[in-house]
């Protein structure tokens, strides 16, 4: 799947804190780390009193939300304003429990579809006119269950490997092929 080339800012959302580091809900933050490294981004720095950190790569600006998932809108609004990027040039990396693990989809201008982090961003920006890079986290063999039942659980090693492969595909779609870890 091709990711649009006019994206300027890539925002990763998830939950802060070590207790959430290796959970499925943090797939967006894990993807951000991978893409930033692939683009040669420098150290992430926090602007004074802002709810995000940012770094500049060779091709993109990267922002890491420091809020909890359900309050991601504050980070998106502050990052767009501070970095002077309009929402239509923003791509949000996030977990997607409706997609199978090892897949991703790119969408523009879609509703939140029950994803509370995306709903927060739509509300804060006053528009759904931004890109979403939806990273599948639902294990293929999983019985259909509510996302809340597994998104905060620790990733299985095989699932982490599947996500790393998908991060490389996303990097390739962004023109960062050969640069990803």
Catalytic residues: 25
**Backbone angles phi and psi of 6, in degrees to 5:** -90, 10
Q: What whole-number distance in Å separates Cα of residue 118 and Cα of residue 3?
A: 18
* Nearest by Cα to 96 from 72, 109, 112: 112
Pairing of strands 61-65, 52-56: antiparallel
H helix or E strand, kind and range, residue 106: strand 104-108
């Amino acid at each position: 799947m091709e990711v649009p080339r006019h994206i300027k800012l890539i925002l990763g959302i998830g939950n802060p804190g070590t207790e959430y580091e290796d959970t499925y809900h943090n797939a967006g933050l894990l993807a951000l780390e991978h893409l930033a490294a692939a683009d040669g981004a420098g150290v992430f720095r926090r602007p004074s009193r802002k709810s995000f950190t940012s770094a500049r790569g060779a091709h993109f600006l990267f922002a890491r939300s420091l809020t909890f998932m359900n309050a991601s809108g504050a980070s998106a609004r502050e990052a767009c304003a501070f970095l002077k990027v309009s929402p239509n040039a923003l791509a949000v990396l996030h977990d997607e429990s409706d997609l199978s693990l090892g897949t991703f989809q790119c969408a523009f201008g879609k509703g939140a579809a029950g994803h509370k982090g995306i709903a927060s961003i739509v509300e804060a920006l006053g528009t759904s006119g931004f890109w979403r890079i939806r990273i599948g986290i639902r294990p293929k063999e999983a019985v259909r269950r509510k996302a809340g039942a597994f998104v905060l659980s620790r990733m299985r090693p095989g699932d982490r490997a599947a996500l790393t492969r998908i991060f490389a595909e996303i990097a390739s779609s962004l023109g960062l092929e050969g640069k990803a870890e």
